[in-house]
Amino acid sequence: MTSVAIVYHSGYGHTKAIAEAVNKGVASVAGVTVHFMSVADADTQWETLAKADAIIFGAPTYMGSASAPMKAFMDATSKVWFTMGWKDKIAAGFTVSSAQSGDKLSTLNQFVTFAMQHGMIWIGTGMMPGNSNSKGSVDDLNRIGSATGLMSQANADQGVEGIAASDFKTAEVFGARVAQFAVKNAA
C-alpha cells in the first residue's frame, strides 16, 4: 500500500472541511492508505510521517501566510530536516481564505519552499483555471485558478456552508491527483 498523509491546521473548521474533501479524493485511489491528522496531533505521528510516501500540507492563509499553528508544526520538522528524513517524498499543499485571491499563493509558495528544504518533490493541481472566460462560473473546477496547490475560498461570516460546492469537488480531484502520482512514484 502507498501511504499518503494529510497534515492540516484549521482555525474555524473551513480548512478541516476542505482537508476532508482532499482526503476523500486520496482515498478514492486504489492501493492507497490515508493518514489524516491535525497539527495538534502531528506530534505523535512522526513515525507515520516518516513512512509516508506523500505528505499533503494544508492551512488557512492568515495575514498572508500559513497560520501560526501550522508554522509551529513546520518548525518542529527541523529535526527531520537535519537527517533529510523526508527526502524524495511527494509533497503538495492547500490553503483557504475568505478573499478570492487574497495572498493564498503566498502560503502555497511557503509550502513549496518548506518542501524543497526537505528535499521533497512538489506536485500541483495540474488543472486549467476555471471561471476565466464568458462561459465560466463559480461552479467550475478550480474556479480560483490555482496551479501550485489547491486554493479554496470560504466566506468570512459563514461556516462550512459558505464554501462553494465546486471547491469541495476541486479538492477531491486534487487529492486523487496527488495520490495517483504517489502510487506511481512508489512503484
List the one residue from 38, 67, 152, 170 that touches its own copies (CB under 8 A): 67
- Shortest Å, Cβ 49 to its own copies: 14
State the residue for C-alpha cell 477531491: 172
List the one residue from 55, 94, 104, 152 that touches its own copies (CB under 8 A): 104
- Subset of residues 36 to 55 that bind its own copies, contact rule: CB under 8 A: none
Per-residue burial over 33-48, b if 16 or more Cβ lie within 10 Å, else e, is: ebbbbbbeebeebeeb
- Shortest Å, Cβ 129 to its own copies: 4
Instruction: Report whether 88 contacts 121 (CB < 8 A).
Output: yes
Strands 65-66 and 54-62: antiparallel
Nearest to residue 69, comparing CAs of 92, 39, 36? 39
Is the Cβ of residue 16 or residue 143 nearer to its own copies in the bound state?
143
Cα-based distances in Å from 56 to 36, 49, 70, 92, 155: 10, 11, 12, 5, 24
CA angle 109, 111, 116 (to 5 degrees): 95
Q: Provide the 3-class DSSP secondary structure of residue 159.
A: coil
- Subset of residues 108 to 147 that bind its own copies, contact rule: CB under 8 A: 109-110, 112-114, 116-117, 119, 121-129, 131-136, 143-147
Question: By CB under 8 A, is residue 68 in contact with its own copies?
Answer: yes
List the one residue from 35, 45, 98, 160 that touches its own copies (CB under 8 A): 98
- DSSP designation for 162: G
- Shortest Å, Cβ 28 to its own copies: 19
Residue numbers at the binding site for its own copies (CB under 8 A) = 62-68, 71-72, 74-75, 77-78, 81, 84, 87-88, 97-106, 109-110, 112-114, 116-117, 119, 121-129, 131-136, 143-148, 151, 153, 155-158, 162, 181, 184-185, 187
